[in-house]
Chain A
């Protein structure tokens, strides 16, 4: 089986999904992890536990509940339908939302750790130099948290790349829209086309390894430069 005869659209779709999901994850994960790193409230552990749920739950559990929630009567699907006039299940948008929930702990946890390590001292210093909290956050915290952001982005991206169970449940395997790489591999395995499955799997394996390796190398460099 040569690579040229394999349909590559799932690969591009997967990269697009992982990329977009990562962007949304960073946007959503930043305030959540920031809040978690600062708050002393009693229900902080509850929020932390909810965010961490995808780490322990089988993806099918999340996928099943998302399938219910995305439905026309579901608590996400119904308002979404009202707002946009279109459904969430079996759409690329639906996959992005599902992936964001699914990969949230992989972004929130490293960011929260980074923000906690930065502590309140640099922000107090900034506040006493005429910087508003938002200003201080972007001028001090974000640049200081670069390593955390790189780690979070890569983990979120890589985790979304490999996502299977959730996509299987809410995706509907539509070529070009929701047929991502992991599903495509699964279908090739199921239809006993092991050669193609192998080619795609090996590709995904190698790609994931290279991405992670790059991060660890960059992180190392970065640490030395700061020190």
Chain B
């Protein structure tokens, strides 16, 4: 009995140690929070096709950037914007020439309760809401896009008294989902990832209203010779994969 149990424990430990070494070896990706749901689909597909394993650190792009500068062990960085990967490249922290746009963010106005939101601009103009949520334009690309759209519609000054800011688009989504804010500018991908019902209460902001939200990826220096990382970047460019990205709520360049 005792013998049996201790044997089992030894086997268990070996398994743990073994799997840990496997995980440590392949690709460590830093992924912008808004892309997390899509990434999950891509990750399992990539792992099945190649046998490589990906571990994923999720966060706001700014935080991931700061971590990379402090030596975080990421192999690839999937940012929510184009500026940070460029900055990493300029700073000599990313592999030159590896940078490309893997997705284009699509901005929507969304409500958890109000179907009228489909009328978009008119609803905003009527102003019959207490809180309009958007991501902080100073730090979140979707926030900057939402601000541009509001400026384009000449609404920016008008809604000032009703705007509340999420620190990122995920938190903005939370404000709307819990009905604390009646409306909010979020990513289409977020709305699609939930329910079909949610997708009926959206208004997609015309892409002419804001500068494209280019989401760029880049290979980081430590992965210069990491074949799994290079292969993952190639994987992101495959037509079938781009199709998945599109289906989950993004544009593709």
- A–B contact, 8 Å CB criterion (strictly below): yes
Chain A residues near B (Cβ < 8 Å): 64, 67-68, 70-74, 77, 87, 89-90, 168-170, 172-174, 178, 183, 186-187, 189-192
Chain B residues near A187: list those with CB within 8 A. Answer: 136, 138-139, 167
* Alpha-carbon distance A1/B77, docked complex (angstroms): 30
CA–CA, A71 and B66, complex, Å:
34
Whether A191 touches B130, Cβ cut-off 8 Å, given contacts A68-B178, A172-B175, is: no
Interface contact B165-A173, CB-CB below 8 Å: yes
Point out the residue from B131, B138, B171, B174 that lies within 8 Å of A191, measured CB to CB: B138
Query: Do A67 and B62 have beta carbons less than 8 Å apart?
Result: no
What are 23 A-B pairs at a CB distance below 8 A? A67-B178, A67-B180, A70-B180, A71-B180, A72-B179, A77-B180, A87-B180, A89-B131, A90-B180, A168-B171, A170-B180, A172-B133, A172-B165, A172-B175, A173-B136, A173-B166, A178-B164, A187-B139, A187-B167, A190-B138, A190-B139, A191-B62, A191-B138
CB-CB nearest in chain A for B175: A172
* Given A73-B179, A190-B63, A174-B163 contact (CB < 8 Å): yes
B62:A172 contact, CB within 8 angstroms: no
Chain A residues, CB < 8 A from B165: 172-174
Minimum Cβ distance to chain B for residue A41 (Å):
35
For window 26-66 of chain B, which residues contact chain A by CB distance below 8 Å? Answer: 60, 62-63, 65-66
Q: Are A90 and B181 in contact (CB under 8 A)?
A: yes
Given the known interface contacts A72-B179, A173-B136, A187-B139, the answer about A87 and B131 at a Cβ–Cβ threshold of 8 Å is yes
B180 A191 Cβ-Cβ under 8 A:
no
Task: Quote the shortest CB–CB distance from B141 to chain A (angstroms).
Answer: 12
Complex CA gap A192/B138 in Å reads 10
Bound-state CA distance A164–B48 (Å) is 40
Which residues of B line the A interface, CB within 8 A? 60, 62-63, 65-66, 130-131, 133, 136, 138-139, 163-167, 171, 174-175, 178-181
Q: Which residue among A89, A187, A190 has the maximum number of chain B CB atoms within 10 Å of its CB?
A: A190
Q: How far is the CB of B174 from chain A (nearest CB, A)?
A: 7
Evaluate whether A191 and B181 lie within 8 angstroms (CB atoms) in the complex, with A168-B171, A172-B131, A174-B163 already known. Answer: no
In the bound complex, what is the Cα–Cα distance between A223 and B233 (angstroms)? 67
Establish whether residues B164 and A189, one from each chain, have CB atoms under 8 Å apart when the complex forms: no
Give min CB distance, B199 to chain A, whole Å: 21
Contacts of A73 in B (CB 8 A): 179
In the complex, how many angstroms separate the beta carbon of B251 from the nearest chain A beta carbon?
25
Q: What are the residues of chain B within 8 A of A183 when measuring CB–CB?
A: 167
Q: CB distance A173 to B164 under 8 Å? A: yes
Q: How far is the CA of A71 from the CA of B176 in the complex (A)?
A: 10
Chain B minimum-CB-distance residue to A194: B66
Report yes or no: B179 in contact with A71, Cβ–Cβ below 8 A.
yes
Q: Which of A68, A90, A192 contacts B62 (CB 8 A)?
A: A192
Q: Given A89-B180, A187-B136, are A172 and B60 neighbors across the interface (CB < 8 Å)?
A: no
Q: How far is the CB of B63 from chain A (nearest CB, A)?
A: 7
CB within 8 A of A174: which of B130, B138, B164? Answer: B164
Interface centre among B131, B163, B178, B180, by most chain A C-beta atoms within 10 angstroms, is B180
Nearest 10 Cβ contacts at the A-B interface: A172-B164, A173-B165, A190-B139, A89-B180, A190-B62, A90-B164, A191-B139, A71-B179, A71-B178, A191-B138
| 17 new A-B contacts at CB < 8 Å, known A190-B138, A190-B167 | A67-B174, A71-B179, A72-B180, A73-B179, A74-B178, A77-B180, A89-B131, A89-B180, A90-B181, A172-B175, A173-B136, A173-B164, A173-B166, A174-B164, A174-B165, A190-B62, A192-B62
Least CB distance from B104 to A in Å reads 22
What residues of A have a CB within 8 angstroms of the CB of B66 in the complex? 189, 192
How far is it, in angstroms, between the C-alpha of A172 and the C-alpha of B66 when the chains are bound? 23
* Distance in angstroms between the alpha carbons of A89 and B133 in the assembled complex: 12
**Nearest neighbor of A73 in chain B, beta-carbon distance:** B179
Contacts of B62 in A (CB 8 A): 189-192
With a cutoff of 8 Å between Cβ atoms, the chain A residues found around residue B136 in the complex are: 173, 187, 190
Bound: A174/B163 CA distance, A: 8
Across the interface, which residues of A come within 8 angstroms of B178, CB to CB?
67-68, 71, 74
Q: Which chain B residues lie closer than 8 Å to A70 at the CB level?
A: 180
- B167 neighbours in A (Cβ, 8 Å): 168, 173, 183, 186-187, 190
